[in-house]
Amino acid sequence: MSALVEILEPGPFALVVDAGRPGRRGEGIAQGGALDALAYAVLNRLLDNAPHDAAIEALGELCVRFDAPVRLALTGAECRAELDGARVDAWSACDVPPGAILRLRAPVAGARAYLGVSGGFDVPLVLGSRSTDCSGGFGGLEGRALRAGDALRVRRRVPFEPGARRRAKPPQWDFARDAFAAEAMPVRLLPCRELASLAADERDRLYEIRSVSPRSDRMGYRLCGARIANDLPEMRSHAVFPGVVQLPPSGEPILLLADAPATGGYPKAGVAIAADLWKVAQLPAGARLRFQPCGDEEAARARAELAAYLHAIS
């Protein structure tokens, strides 16, 4: 018999995620999956899970009860988690006794917390993934965000070892505080061709400090700040994907994230490098970021650094 995890409080927004559905964009299906793919990858490594085992992504203030012993792990935003009143560190895994209650508070650093269990959460595989596709209304638990009273089954039971604990070194984590300080979080951007057709001073505005609009979601972040006027024509529809920075007529750039639609029509400024997208996912509304132009070599170096960091956790 497998364990059940009951959602007592989901917080502002919590959903079941995994590595998403890349490879089905041609059918209009969003990639989806964990917004902070790095925290999600570390989570499954801490639990000796398969790389695509399902977890919960929450904006903090999540409260769950375990009806049987399980091994859990937490990564991502620092939410001062407590297990039956005792502090649990983020970026660690531990065993919990039956009946235990885990409570996350509002994030003090970062925006998104990941809760995983050994074996992952048991929701049906839909189109190759367990991720919730909220705009498509499928995947995850009944294609929707989690609600109080939901119960998720755990796919694997492990022997309970009280005191067992495992930690991972968090990735460079100071950004969350940096992002609120005078200096904004740097996000490296590979510029694209349309950018060259912008007037020079409009182009420069792209690299000014911007803040994450409250009208942001898993599809993308709207970035407030100096408006970028563009008289570029609406493009013929083309593929878009996480990392693409669009220039809508409003002048506020949009940085697309995991739930981005498969196609779009706005002109593009560039593509944020994959190795920086996890940091973006951890920026709450109001936090600041700044694009920095970069080239292929730097993008490749950043990718390799991230791979080495992940490899060291095992």
Partner 1 sequence: MSLQVERLGESALVADAGTPETFASQRRMWALARAARQLPGVDDAVIGANNLTLFLREPERWRELERALQAAWKEGAMLETGAARSVEIPVAYGGESGPDAASLARICGMAEAELVILHARPQYVVSFLGFVAGFAYLGGLDERLHAARRAEPRAAVPAGSVAIGGTYTGVYPRSTPGGWHLIGRTEETLFDPRREPPALLAPGDRVRFVPLT
Binding stretches for partner 1 (CB under 8 A): 22-30, 126-127, 133, 135-139, 143, 190, 192-193, 236-239, 241, 243-244, 261-264, 268, 270-271, 273-274, 296, 299-300, 303
Q: Is the dihedral of CA 203, 207, 209, 213 positive or negative?
A: positive
Distance of closest approach, residue 272 Cβ to partner 1, in angstroms: 8
Q: How far is the CB of 94 from partner 1 (least distance, A)?
A: 35
- In the bound complex, what is the minimum distance in angstroms from residue 143's beta carbon to partner 1? 8
Give min distance, CB of 248 to partner 1, in A. Answer: 12
Phi, psi of 43 (to 5 degrees): -55, -50
List the beta bridge partners of residue 64.
7, 102
Helical (H) or strand (E) element with 222: strand 220-224
E strand or H helix at 45: helix 37-46
Least Cβ distance, residue 245 to partner 1 (angstroms): 10
Q: Is 30 or 100 the residue whose CB approaches partner 1 more closely?
A: 30
Structure token pair of residue 1: 């018999």
Q: Which is nearer to partner 1, 107 or 243 (CB)?
A: 243
Residue closer to partner 1 (CB basis): 143 or 251: 143
Which C-beta is closer to partner 1: that of 192 or that of 310?
A: 192
Residue 307 to residues 23, 101, 230, 272, 310, Cα–Cα distance (Å):
21, 34, 37, 17, 5
The DSSP secondary structure of 119-182, one letter per residue, reads T-B----BTTB---BTTTTBSTBTTB---TT-EEEBS------TT-EEE-PPPS-THHHHTTSS
Nearest distance from residue 23's CB to partner 1, in Å? Answer: 5
Our CB check for partner 1 shows the closer of 133 and 252 to be 133
Nearer to partner 1, 28 or 99 (CB): 28
Contact predicate 92/74, CB 8 Å: yes
Cα–Cα dist 145/287, whole Å: 24
φ, ψ of residue 65 in degrees (nearest 5): -120, 140
Which residue lies nearer to partner 1 by CB, 171 or 270? Answer: 270
| Closer CB to partner 1, 162 or 296, in the complex | 296
CA distance 233 to 217: 26
Q: Closest distance between partner 1 and the C-beta of residue 303, in Å?
A: 7
H or E element at residue 201: helix 200-206
Report the nearest approach of partner 1 to the CB of residue 240 (Å).
9
Decide: helix, strand or coil at residue 203: helix
Q: Which amino acid is at 11?
A: G
